[in-house]
Amino acid sequence: MKTPLSALVLLHAQRHFLEKQRGEADIARQWRTRLLEARAAGRPAVLMQWDGPAGSDHETFSRGWTIHPDLRPEESDWPTRAP
């Protein structure tokens, strides 16, 4: 397998971040387009998932903590959790 020269990194792919943004649907659509392009080109896609403190809108394993449904990771992606 050839090593990719670049990767797509989505640092804020979680629901709690995108759902707060004006134009959420447009942002998610643009990011999804880039995600699909990266996958088609064989580039890795890294989707960051930040753990959140108890009671926060992105508390670990809560609804807000999950990756936005328009950006669901696929087998070739690299979902990555961070504290």
CB 15 within 8 A of CB 51: no
pLDDT at position 5 is 74
Q: Is the dihedral of CA 34, 37, 41, 47 positive or negative?
A: positive
The pLDDT tens digits of the residues spanning 38-80 come to 999 999 999 999 999 999 999 999 999 999 999 999 999 999 9
Ordered by start, the domain boundaries in the chain are 8-82
Residue with tokens 């998610």: 28
**Class of the CATH-defined domain 8-82:** alpha beta
Q: How far apart are CA 18 and CA 55, in angstroms?
A: 19
pTM (whole model) above 0.75: yes
Tell me the backbone φ, ψ of residue 52, rounded to 5 degrees.
Answer: -120, 155
Amino acid letter, residue 45? A
